[in-house]
Amino acid sequence: MPVTTGTSRLPRALRPFRHRDYALLAASMAASLFASGLWIVALVYQVIELGGGPAQLSLVSAAAATGLLLSVLLGGVAADRISRRLLLRLVETVRIAMAGLAAGLALTGTLELWSLAAVAFVVGAAEAFFFPAYSAVLPTLLPADELLAANGLEGILRPVAMYAAGPALAGVLVAGFGPGYALGGAAAGYLLALVPLLFMRVPPETEREPSSVLSDLGEGFRYFLHTGWLFATLLFAVLLVLLVIGPIEVLLPFAVRDQTASGPGGYALVLALFGAGGAVGSLLASVGRMPRRYLTVMILLWGVGGVPLALVGFADQLWTMGAIVAVVGAAHGAAMVIWGTLLQRRVPPHLLGRVSSLDFFVSLALMPVSTALAGPVGEAVGIPTTFLLAGLVPLPLAVLALLIWRLPKDELAHPL
Q: How far is CA 244 from the centre of its chain?
A: 15
User: What is the structure's pLDDT at 7?
Assistant: 47
Contacts 24+ apart (CB under 8 A), 223-226: 223/347, 223/348, 223/351, 223/354, 223/355, 224/355, 224/358
pLDDT tens digits, one per residue of 371-411: 778 888 888 999 999 999 999 999 999 999 999 999 999 99
For 405, which DSSP code? T
Ramachandran category for residue 33: left, alpha or beta (phi over 0 → left; psi -120 to 50 → alpha): alpha
Cα 103 from chain centre: 25
253 and 267 in contact (C-beta within 8 Å)?
yes
Bigger pLDDT: 272 vs 136 = 136
Mean pLDDT of 62-80: 86
Q: How far apart, in whole angstroms, are the C-alpha atoms of residue 210 and residue 408?
A: 38
Topology alike, domains 12-198 and 214-413 = yes
Write the DSSP string, 5-60.
Answer: -S-S-S-GGGGGGGBHHHHHHHHHHHHHHHHHHHHHHHHHHHHHHTT--HHHHHHH
User: Cα(231)–Cα(154) distance, rounded to whole angstroms?
Assistant: 24
- Hey, where are the domains in the chain? 12-198, 214-413
Residue type, 130: F
Please report how the helices 318-346 and 352-365 are oriented relative to each other, as an axis angle in degrees rounded to 10: 150
Which letter does DSSP use for residue 248 in this model? I
Picking from 220, 247, 226, the residue whose alpha carbon sits closest to that of residue 361 is 220
Note the pLDDT of residue 9: 62
User: Which amino acid appears at position 129 of this protein?
Assistant: F
Is residue 368 very low, low, confident or very high in pLDDT (cuts 50, 70, 90)?
confident
Pick 198 or 266 by higher pLDDT. Answer: 198
Confidence of residue 54 (pLDDT cuts 50, 70, 90): low
Q: What is the pLDDT of residue 410?
A: 96
Which of 289, 292, 288, 255 lies closest to 271 in space, CA to CA?
A: 255
DSSP annotation of 414 reads S
**For residue 266, which amino acid is it?**
G
Report d(CA 333, CA 163) in Å as an integer. Answer: 14
pLDDT at 209: 64
Q: Please determine, looking at this structure, whether the domain spanning 12-198 carries the CATH number 2.40.240.10.
A: no
The amino acid present at 166, given as its one-letter code, is G
What's the burial of 364, exposed, middle or buried (CB within 10 Å: 0-12/13-18/19+)? middle
pLDDT band at 206 (very low <50, low <70, confident <90, very high): low
HSE of 269, CA atoms in CB hemisphere, 13 A: 15
Q: Just give the CATH number of 214-413.
A: 1.20.1250.20
pTM: predicted TM-score of the whole model, two decimal places: 0.82
Q: What is residue 192's predicted lDDT score, i.e. its pLDDT?
A: 97
Closest CA to 341 of 78, 145, 131, 72: 145
Q: How far is CA 117 from the centre of its chain?
A: 22
Contact 139, 352 (CB under 8 A): yes
Largest CA distance in the chain: 62
DSSP state string for 196-212: HHHH---PPPPP-----
pLDDT at residue 373, as a whole number? 83
More confident residue, 366 or 197: 197
C-alpha span between 362 and 382 (Å, rounded): 28
DSSP string, 281-299: HHHHHHHSPPPTTHHHHHH
Question: Looking at residue 159, what DSSP letter applies?
Answer: I
